[in-house]
């Protein structure tokens, strides 16, 4: 086995392990599920499609897998190589064209980022398609680094402690989103995608916009990780280890009645310390 092939096998084994663990930990996929994977054309979704297909085969087809790609009419979009690649994978797929690009360009002022509106329109198309075709789960390619970056962005720019959950029921309760790469590191995905030579389609709509908040947050975390490599994993763990009593959210901790709780505990301790007169 050549060194690149050996590296590829090790990366695939590692990514399969953490993907399977995330699916198990959060009960993402059950027997009989019809999973629609959103293949954007980027490294993350290509990697997830490959891994989920491997897990589907290993499970003896306990769930169905379908690949959905949305052609938003972006300039330079060319999915010919993606189509050729999909034909070799024997995975059911559709590349669905809906021109949201024109809407984004028309609605977003010049020099403003397109990401928010673009994402909102894309989600609408995805949800509509999934509902129409009876898909029970929608799989997204967000990974560990996306989740911790979202946490930092939410804290610094929105004043909220939230991120991307590994499993989410949409507000209208019509769809369940899953993120099986929740435990996977971006550097492993990048290396794996390069070795697999996936036919990546770049996002020319927002990818050319510089100084995006996410890129600044990503650099900040990477710089900190250069000093302490455990920082990214610690941030992911923080999302799973909330301490409401150590925060300030009155909706999740009864600060108002702590005195009453103290007196009750104090009375019980005092009574327990008194000798029994009988």
pLDDT digits (tens, 9 = 90+) for 61-72: 999 999 999 988
**Distance of alpha carbon 65 from alpha carbon 156, whole angstroms:** 37
Q: With respect to residue 54, please indicate whether it lies within any of the assigned structural domains.
A: yes
Q: With respect to residue 244, please indicate whether it lies within any of the assigned structural domains.
A: no
Predicted pLDDT at 265: 53
**Alpha helix positions (H), the chain:** 3-25, 43-58, 80-89, 101-107, 115-133, 144-153, 186-196, 213-227, 231-238, 258-273
pLDDT at 278 > cutoff 70: no
Q: With respect to residue 260, please indicate whether it lies within any of the assigned structural domains.
A: no
Residue 187 is part of which domain span?
Answer: 3-209
Q: With respect to residue 11, please indicate whether it lies within any of the assigned structural domains.
A: yes
Task: Say if CB 236 and CB 148 are below 8 A apart.
Answer: yes
Q: With respect to residue 247, please indicate whether it lies within any of the assigned structural domains.
A: no
**Distance of alpha carbon 88 from alpha carbon 11, whole angstroms:** 22
Domain total of the chain:
1
Predicted pLDDT at 205: 53
Tens digit of each residue's pLDDT (9 = 90 or more) over 1-52 = 556 789 999 999 999 999 999 999 999 999 999 999 999 999 999 999 999 9
Task: Say if CB 188 and CB 11 are below 8 A apart.
Answer: yes
Q: With respect to residue 171, please indicate whether it lies within any of the assigned structural domains.
A: yes
CATH number at residue 107: 3.40.50.620
Q: With respect to residue 8, please indicate whether it lies within any of the assigned structural domains.
A: yes
Tens digit of each residue's pLDDT (9 = 90 or more) over 234-271 = 999 999 999 999 999 999 999 999 988 887 655 555 55
Please report how many Cα atoms fall inside a 13 Å half-sphere around the Cα of residue 273, on the Cβ side: 6
Q: With respect to residue 12, please indicate whether it lies within any of the assigned structural domains.
A: yes
């Amino acid at each position: 086995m050549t060194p690149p092939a050996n590296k590829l096998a090790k990366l695939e084994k590692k990514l399969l392990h953490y993907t399977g663990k995330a699916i198990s930990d959060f009960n993402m996929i059950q027997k009989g599920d019809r999973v629609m994977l959103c293949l954007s054309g980027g490294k993350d979704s290509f990697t997830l499609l490959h891994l989920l297909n491997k897990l589907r085969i290993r499970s003896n087809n306990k769930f169905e897998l379908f690949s959905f790609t949305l052609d938003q009419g972006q300039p330079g979009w060319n999915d010919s190589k993606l189509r050729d690649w999909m034909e070799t994978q024997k995975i059911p797929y559709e590349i669905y064209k809906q021109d949201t690009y024109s809407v984004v360009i028309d609605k977003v002022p010049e020099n403003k980022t397109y990401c928010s509106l673009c994402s909102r329109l894309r989600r609408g198309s995805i949800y509509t398609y999934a509902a129409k075709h009876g898909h029970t789960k929608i799989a997204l390619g967000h990974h560990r680094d996306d989740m911790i970056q979202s946490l930092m962005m939410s804290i610094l720019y929105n004043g909220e402690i939230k991120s991307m959950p590994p499993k989410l029921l949409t507000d209208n309760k019509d769809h369940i989103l899953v993120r099986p790469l929740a435990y996977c590191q971006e550097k492993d995905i990048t290396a794996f995608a390069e070795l697999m030579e996936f036919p990546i389609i770049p996002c020319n709509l927002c990818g050319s916009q510089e100084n995006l908040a996410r890129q600044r947050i990503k650099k900040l975390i990477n710089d900190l990780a250069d000093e302490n490599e455990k920082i990214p994993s610690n941030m992911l763990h923080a999302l799973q280890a909330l301490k409401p009593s150590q925060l300030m959210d009155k909706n999740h901790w009864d600060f108002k009645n702590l005195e009453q709780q103290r007196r009750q505990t104090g009375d019980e301790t005092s009574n327990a310390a008194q000798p029994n007169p009988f």
